[in-house]
């Protein structure tokens, strides 16, 4: 009985020693996992940052070089030697480059305002048709230059929402521009707008372009992130269009979702909640956010 008491005392001290060892091991392993995750996150941020600096200097330098180059050309001509047509052509190139530069700078200002929580929407009652239709019409030329078919189907009974029309147009311009930009020749981009059972407006931008994996979507949605970054990237841009679009949709109380299949195409869904105080849709249409692709699509919801 005495021996039994000793052995049970030993057992319990062995058990508590074992438990404490196990506890230490679990803590050490958790610390290692956390450290690894932090290192990966830091490497990801640092890669995005260096790619951003490289891309940004390209994005700023290219239009600046055009502005300096063409204005120098005009300034160095002997007086009266340039014909009017030539002067107008150079002036247009300078204007285009300056416009591009302004767009890049505006994107940088927008993202920093959004990130600091200082971005203000200027909401009014409107329906999406009002901004979506002119936005798509304005991108027809870009699509035809890229040999990409651009179509737009807008439900005539869209509900009214309380939204900032200028900012919504910026969202759709970014998304449709991306769809055209990342769709090779002969492909198509389809823009649709419907309302769902909750009277929310669902806009989808579906392309038959290069598509993205889940990891690539993660890069794409990160400010300054570009899937095909580095020196051999095949399309221009700052990597800010998608994060700005996502942030603006969120500011409207909405949600931006990306579905993509690498090599097959991408669909971006924007869901804007109904303004219940305003008129409901006459004939709500169920918009089912699914994709009929053979491979399971990468999915991203904010």
- What is the contact surface with ligand ADP in residues (CB under 6 A)? 174, 178-179, 182, 207, 209-212, 220, 226-228, 237-243, 266
How wide is the angle at C-alpha 132 spanned by C-alphas 291 and 183, nearest 5°? 50
Q: Between the CA of residue 168 and those of 22, 203, 204, 283, what are the distances in Å?
A: 55, 11, 14, 23
Q: Which is nearer to ligand ADP, 241 or 254 (CB)?
A: 241
Q: How far is the CB of 62 from ligand ADP (least distance, A)?
A: 13
* Residues 163-182, interacting with Mg ion (CB under 5 A): 178
Q: How far is the CB of 257 from ligand ADP (least distance, A)?
A: 13
Q: How far is the CB of 36 from Mg ion (least distance, A)?
A: 32
Residue 123-162 contact track with Mg ion, rule CB under 5 A, x = bound: ----------------------------------------
Give the CA count within 13 Å in the CB-facing half-sphere of 26. Answer: 6
CA Rg value for the chain: 27
Q: Which is nearer to Mg ion, 211 or 237 (CB)?
A: 237
Q: Parallel, antiparallel, or unpaired for β 149-154 and 188-195?
A: parallel
118 near 247, Cβ under 8 Å? Answer: no
212 near 263, Cβ under 8 Å? Answer: no
Residue 227 interacts, among Mg ion, ligand ADP, none and using kind-specific CB cut-offs from 5 to 8 Å, with: ligand ADP
161 near 279, Cβ under 8 Å? Answer: no
Q: How far is the CB of 130 from ligand ADP (least distance, A)?
A: 23
* Residues 190-249, interacting with Mg ion (CB under 5 A): 237, 241
54 near 230, Cβ under 8 Å? Answer: yes
Q: Which is nearer to ligand ADP, 182 or 269 (CB)?
A: 182
Chain position whose Cβ is nearest to ligand ADP: 237
Residue 179 interacts, among Mg ion, ligand ADP, none and using kind-specific CB cut-offs from 5 to 8 Å, with: ligand ADP
Residue 238 interacts, among ligand ADP, Mg ion, none and using kind-specific CB cut-offs from 5 to 8 Å, with: ligand ADP
Q: Which is nearer to ligand ADP, 66 or 238 (CB)?
A: 238
Q: How far is the CB of 241 from ligand ADP (least distance, A)?
A: 3
The burial class, CB within 10 Å (0-12 / 13-18 / 19+), for 127 is: buried
DSSP code, position 233: -
Residue 209 interacts, among Mg ion, ligand ADP, none and using kind-specific CB cut-offs from 5 to 8 Å, with: ligand ADP
Residue 171 interacts, among Mg ion, ligand ADP, none and using kind-specific CB cut-offs from 5 to 8 Å, with: none
Q: What 3 state SS string does 24-70 have?
A: HHHHHHHHHHHHHHHHHHHHHHHHHHHHHHHHHHHHHHHHHHHHHHH
Q: Which is nearer to Mg ion, 177 or 192 (CB)?
A: 177
Q: Kindly state the number of chain residues that form the binding site for Mg ion, as judged by CB under 5 A.
A: 3
Q: Which is nearer to ligand ADP, 130 or 149 (CB)?
A: 149
Closest to 202 (Cα-Cα) out of 278, 289, 134, 144: 289
Q: How far is the CB of 168 from ligand ADP (least distance, A)?
A: 16
Following DSSP, what letter does each residue of 129-180 receive, concatenated?
Answer: HHHHHHHHHHTHHHHHHTT-EEEEEE-TTPPPEEE-HHHHHHHHHHHHHHHH
Q: Which is nearer to Mg ion, 193 or 240 (CB)?
A: 240
Summarize as ranges the residues that interact with Mg ion (CB under 5 A).
178, 237, 241
């Amino acid at each position: 009985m005495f021996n039994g008491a000793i052995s049970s005392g030993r057992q319990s001290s062995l058990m508590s020693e074992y438990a404490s060892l196990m506890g230490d091991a679990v803590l050490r392993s958790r610390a290692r996992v956390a450290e690894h995750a932090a290192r990966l996150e830091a490497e990801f941020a640092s890669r995005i940052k260096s790619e951003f600096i490289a891309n940004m200097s390209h994005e700023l330098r290219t239009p600046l070089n055009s502005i300096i180059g063409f204005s120098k050309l005009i300034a160095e001509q002997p007086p009266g030697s340039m014909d009017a047509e030539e002067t107008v052509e150079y002036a247009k190139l300078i204007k285009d480059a300056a416009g591009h530069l302004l767009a890049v700078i505006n994107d940088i200002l927008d993202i920093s305002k959004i990130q600091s929580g200082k971005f203000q929407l200027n909401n009014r009652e409107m329906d999406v048709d009002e901004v979506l239709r002119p936005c798509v019409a304005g991108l027809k030329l870009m699509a035809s230059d890229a040999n990409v078919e651009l179509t737009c189907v807008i439900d005539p009974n869209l509900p009214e929402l309380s939204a900032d029309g200028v900012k919504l147009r910026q969202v759709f311009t970014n998304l449709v521009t991306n769809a055209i930009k990342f769709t090779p020749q002969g492909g198509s981009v389809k823009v649709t707008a419907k309302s769902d059972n909750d009277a929310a407006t669902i806009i989808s931008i579906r392309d038959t372009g290069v598509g993205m994996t889940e990891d690539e979507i993660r890069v794409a949605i990160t400010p300054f992130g570009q899937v095909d970054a580095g020196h051999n990237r095949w399309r221009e841009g700052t990597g800010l269009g998608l994060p700005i679009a996502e942030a603006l949709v969120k500011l409207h109380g909405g949600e931006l979702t990306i579905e993509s299949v690498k090599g097959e195409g991408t669909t971006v869904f924007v869901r804007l909640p109904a303004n219940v105080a305003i008129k409901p849709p006459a004939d709500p249409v169920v918009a089912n956010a699914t994709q009929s692709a053979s491979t399971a699509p990468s999915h991203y919801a904010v």
